[in-house]
Amino acid sequence: MPFDVRTLYLDGCVELAVSGEIDLSVSERLWHAIEQVISPDRPLMLDMHRVTFFDVSGVRVLLKASQRLDGDPARLILRSPSPIVLRVLSATATNEALIIQGVRDDVRRTKHRLT
C-alpha cells in the first residue's frame, strides 16, 4: 500500500489519516503533512490503523511533533495504531510519551514478540 496522508477537521481537532508504509523514504512527507496542520491551540490526532510498515524514522517524526507541541502527551494522540506501529512504539518506549486511543481488542491480545 503506498504512503498517503489525508487531513480531516473534526470538532476543534485536526486528524491526519495515515496509511501505507512509513520509512525513511516518506518520513519528510509525513513531517510536512504534520507541519501544515500542527498548532499549539489544538490537539493533533493521527489515525494510524492503515499503516502497514513503521520504523524508527516514523518514531522520529512523532517525537518531533511532540516537541513542537511542548512535549504535552495530551496534544498528540495516536488513534487505532496498527500492530506494527504498536510494536515499534513499544520497542522504543515511545508509547509511554504518547496518548494512544482505540487499540482494537484483537491487536491488544496479540503478543508482540520483539526479535
Helix axis angle, 83-91 relative to 56-68, nearest 10°? 80
Q: If you average pLDDT over residues 31-58, what whole number do you get?
A: 94
CB-based contacts of 109, cutoff 8 Å, min separation 6: none
pLDDT digits (tens, 9 = 90+) for 70-82: 888 888 999 999 9
pLDDT band at 104, cuts 50/70/90? low
pLDDT digits (tens, 9 = 90+) for 7-26: 998 777 889 999 999 999 99
Delineate the domains of the chain, giving CATH numbers in brackets. 4-101 (3.30.750.24)
Task: Identify residue 95 by its one-letter amino acid code.
Answer: N
Query: Which residue in 32, 91, 23, 9 sits closest to 58, CA to CA?
Result: 23
Count the Cβ atoms, other than its own, within 10 Å of residue 58: 26
Query: d(Cα 10, Cα 32) in Å, to the nearest integer?
Result: 20
Query: d(Cα 4, Cα 50) in Å, to the nearest integer?
Result: 10
